């Protein structure tokens, strides 16, 4: 594995029955990079992310995440990755603090109270620590979910549509936090439908019908297609157009 890569997979394939959901995915994500995963619903993004974080076993292909084999060492990957889903995955009937303390126990962390205190302060959740998670707005739920993902200090964040349904201001604040984490050396792979978010990624990969059609920087994609907006580029890709060299 390239020492500068946090994710390096080759020909990953996943089938459900007769349907091939991910078809020969080859991908590298570098340390400290924010890699945007784009494509229409059903293109295979979520399944790809779950294979790379050890939640699904590929039917074919190979790869390593955080230098662990995605097939044979999936348990080790799951312990060292922060995975945030589109659907709020914490307990709505518990308070903000109780959710984080539960996560600390699951990971058997040392000094759990100090870790939770530091996490609450870092993402400005101290004033809301006694509030039930279910009563939070979408933006605050998102912030809590990110705090939970970061509690065990992972080196890789896998974010699956993390800002869906969140207001624009909360999305901007979330992405400011993502860039702050990347500046600290944390690698981020994020799937999104929002073009303003795609523009804030270091590199983009576009999937369609289980295949990775192209990966490039946002700037290069616009230059190659000669368009002024990324949305126009992805419309072209969905039509099956070939990128101009």
> CATH code at 210?
3.40.50.300
pTM of the entire predicted model: 0.88
72 lies in a domain? yes
Q: DSSP state, 44?
A: S
Give the chain's count of helices (H) and strands (E).
9, 10
Q: What is the pLDDT of residue 243?
A: 43
Instruction: Copy the structure tokens of residue 81.
Output: 């990755």
Only one residue has tokens 């959901």, namely 21
- Strands laid side by side in the 81-84 sheet: 81-84, 156-160, 187-191, 34-38, 203-208, 211-216
HSE-CB for 12 with a 13 A CA cutoff: 31
Domain count, the chain: 1
Contact partners, residue 3, CB within 8 Å, separation at least 6: none
140 lies in a domain? no
Residues of the chain with pLDDT under 70: 1-2, 240-245
58 lies in a domain? yes
64 lies in a domain? yes
Q: For 29-87, write each residue's pLDDT tens digit.
A: 999 999 999 988 889 999 999 999 999 999 999 999 999 999 999 999 988 999 888 77
117 lies in a domain? no
Instruction: Copy the structure tokens of residue 40.
Output: 């229409």
Parallel/antiparallel/unpaired status of strands 156-160 and 81-84: parallel
Instruction: Copy the structure tokens of residue 232.
Output: 């126009």
Q: Report the C-alpha gap between 157 and 149 in whole angstroms.
A: 8
103 lies in a domain? no
132 lies in a domain? no
Q: What is the pLDDT of residue 165?
A: 77
Parallel/antiparallel/unpaired status of strands 156-160 and 187-191: parallel
Only one residue has tokens 């991908």, namely 27
DSSP-based three-state secondary structure for 118 = helix
121 lies in a domain? no
Structural domain of 160: 5-86+156-238
């Amino acid at each position: 594995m390239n020492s500068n890569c946090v994710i390096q997979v080759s020909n990953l394939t996943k089938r459900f029955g007769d349907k091939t959901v991910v078809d020969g995915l080859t991908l590298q994500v570098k340390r400290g990079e924010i890699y945007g995963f784009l494509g229409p619903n059903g293109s295979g993004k979520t399944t790809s992310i779950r294979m790379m974080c050890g939640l699904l076993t590929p039917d074919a292909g190979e790869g390593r995440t955080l230098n662990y084999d995605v097939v044979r060492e999936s348990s080790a990957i799951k312990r060292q990755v922060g995975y945030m889903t589109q659907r709020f995955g914490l307990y709505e009937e518990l308070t903000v603090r109780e959710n984080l303390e539960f996560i600390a126990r699951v990971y058997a962390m040392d000094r759990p109270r100090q870790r939770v205190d530091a996490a609450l302060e870092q993402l400005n959740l101290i004033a809301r620590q006694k509030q039930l998670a279910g009563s939070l707005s979408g933006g605050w739920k998102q912030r809590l979910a990110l705090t939970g993902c970061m509690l065990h200090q992972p080196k890789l964040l896998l974010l699956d549509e993390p800002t869906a349904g969140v207001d624009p201001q909360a999305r901007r604040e979330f992405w400011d936090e993502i860039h702050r984490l990347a500046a600290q050396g944390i690698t981020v792979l994020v799937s999104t439908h929002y073009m303003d978010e795609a523009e804030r990624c270091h590199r983009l990969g576009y999937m369609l019908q289980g295949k990775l059609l192209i990966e490039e920087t946002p700037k290069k994609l616009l230059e190659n297609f000669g368009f002024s907006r990324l949305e126009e580029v992805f419309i072209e890709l969905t039509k099956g157009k070939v990128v101009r060299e």
